[in-house]
Amino acid sequence: MSETPVKPLIYCFSGSPFVWRALIALQEKGIGYEAKWISRMSGEHRSPEMLALNPRGRLPILRYGDVTLYESMAICLFLELEHPEPPLIPRSTAGRARTLVLASEASYLESETDDAILFALGAKTDDGDPEPRKAAFRKVHTEMARWEIHLGDGGDYFVGDDLSLADVVVFPGVAFLVRTGLTLSKRTPRLAAWYERMVERPSVRASWPPHWLQSEGVDAGYDKISL
Ligand SMILES: N[C@@H](CCC(=O)N[C@@H](CS)C(=O)NCC(=O)O)C(=O)O
């Protein structure tokens, strides 16, 4: 572990779940940082300067002293190693095992909801056949049901009563679905209560996507789908 360099710099898109994870981790660790918000439309993230930082042209990118990191999970794990307090990975063997498994499983949350989000944002359309949209929306409900089960009967968070990396990486993806019209309380009450708990955290409030504060989300109609 080294000293925190003068203000790490993080490049962000507003509303990116991957960016948001890293911001929540920075906030939870109490690390002062500077955020550089980039408009996706500007294409700046694909400029030669940015491609030199991340050849895939994706955000987040974190500049931390002499090192540059990309990939949200790598950034979160790096922050945990550099700043172990407060821990986002529990000290107990069982707790850290569960945290790492669930944090990795969050990648399915992305792949299983990708299509639905494209429909929700209008990037995909029905073209006369409603079935692909319905199938995509059903996948959202199936995925949410999995996370409802993961919450189990006890504990405020995915791993007991304390926030962990699992909550940090899962939350932004769920928030994206809520922003596009998913009502968690209809089918997943434990997930709904967890979501409200997360929304109340200062780290989440402080990192809320700036453009979400200024505009309403959409209602894609997830809740109208019969399962
Ligand atoms: N696996 C990467 C994914 C990052 C990613 O896909 N970021 C999106 C924003 S949500 C991006 O930068 N896309 C580039 C683009 O839209 O051109 C991570 O976890 O950081």
What is the pLDDT averaged over residues 80-89?
Answer: 98
Average pLDDT of every residue of the chain: 95
Domain membership flag for residue 87: no
Residue 130 sits in the same domain as residue 220: yes
Q: Is the pLDDT of residue 6 over 80?
A: no
CATH classification of the domain holding 194:
1.20.1050.10
Domain membership flag for residue 183: yes
Cβ(13) – ligand 1 distance below 6 Å: yes
Cβ(58) – ligand 1 distance below 6 Å: yes
Domain membership flag for residue 107: yes
Residue 65 sits in the same domain as residue 126: no
Domain membership flag for residue 67: yes
Cβ(59) – ligand 1 distance below 6 Å: yes
Are the CB atoms for 26 and 79 separated by under 8 Å? yes
pLDDT on residue 225: 86
Q: How confident is the model at residue 2 (pLDDT cuts 50, 70, 90)?
A: low
pLDDT in tens, 29-48: 999 999 999 999 999 999 99
Domain's final residue, options 25, 49, 82: 82
Residue 102 sits in the same domain as residue 210: yes
What is the pLDDT averaged over residues 88-113?
Answer: 97
Q: Report the range of poorest mean pLDDT among 26-30, 84-88, 89-93, 126-130.
A: 126-130
CATH classification of the domain holding 66:
3.40.30.10
Cβ(98) – ligand 1 distance below 6 Å: no
- The residue whose CA has the least distance to atom 13 of ligand 1 is 58
Domain membership flag for residue 124: yes
Residue 31 sits in the same domain as residue 52: yes
Ligand 1 atom at minimum distance from 60 CA:
20
Q: How confident is the model at residue 153 (pLDDT cuts 50, 70, 90)?
A: confident
